[in-house]
Amino acid sequence: MAVLVGKKAPLFEADAVVNGGEFAEKFSLEQYIGKKHVIFFFYPLDFTFVCPTEILAFQEKAEEFDKRNVAIVGCSIDSKFSHWAWLNTPVDKGGIAGVKFPIVSDLSKTIAENYDVLAGEYDYNEEGEMEFEGEAVAYRGLFLIDKQGIVRHQVVNDQPLGRSVDEALRMVDALQYFEEHGEVCPADWHKGDDAMQATAEGVASYLGKKHAH
């Protein structure tokens, strides 16, 4: 598994569905560089079971991400037509109607490959024929990308394990606090908590206050 933290987020141009039902060609994360932070997340497949819970949870917190000037972008290996159909299926019928953030179609699986979240790989068998080993879908990868296009946080879950949208929001808060104040955020930090200077004295001061009786 590649660690992309500290590196440029792999860019791409791909089909996507935006605004809950509009097709967009050559959708790219490049449009956000210099303007917004980005939460870019992968999920395995449309019309499944854990995936809609995550996608709808991101939509429920969309206003909180928007307040922080953060774009949410989803991606799976399904076609844009599958995305469109799912977006036009009511929630009580297993759909994700009401979701407005972009959902990218990675039909070629190259985006998942470049982010190293594809749950399988191509290899040659004993007959010299190429075949795919594993599942040709993405793990639940999530990448927090800053305004310069650099990955600052990533987490990758196996398919049965749904992510925490609140944790993604917490990481946005931590990154933006650091960018604004230059102070680092300790364990379990939440917006409004004390941060600390990245020095021995700063750590000692923070721990002294935290554990004072």
Give residue 113's pLDDT band: very low, low, confident or very high (50, 70, 90). very high
Per-residue confidence (pLDDT) for residue 136, from 0 to 100: 84
- Give, rounded to a whole angstrom, the gap between the first and last alpha carbons of the chain: 43
pLDDT average, residue stretch 151-174: 92
Each residue of 37-72: pLDDT tens digit?
999 999 999 998 777 889 999 999 999 999 999 999
Domain count, the chain: 1
On the question of pLDDT at 207 being above 60, the answer is: no
210 assigned to some structural domain: no
Q: 167 — phi, psi (to 5°)?
A: -70, -40
195 assigned to some structural domain: no
pLDDT average, residue stretch 197-205: 59
pLDDT average, residue stretch 98-125: 91
The larger pLDDT score, comparing residue 39 to residue 190, is at: 39
53 assigned to some structural domain: yes
Each residue of 1-19: pLDDT tens digit?
589 999 999 999 999 999 9
Q: Looking at 9, 17, 51, 168, which residue is catalytic? A: 51
Residue numbers of the domain that contains 88 = 14-162
Cβ partners under 8 Å of residue 39, min gap 6: 58, 65, 70, 71, 72, 73, 142, 143, 144, 145, 168, 172
Give residue 151's pLDDT band: very low, low, confident or very high (50, 70, 90). very high
8 assigned to some structural domain: no
CATH number of the domain that residue 157 is part of: 3.40.30.10
The larger pLDDT score, comparing residue 74 to residue 121, is at: 74
> Smallest Cα–Cα separation from 28: which of 106, 87, 116, 107?
106
41 assigned to some structural domain: yes
104 assigned to some structural domain: yes
On the question of pLDDT at 184 being above 80, the answer is: no
51 is catalytic: yes
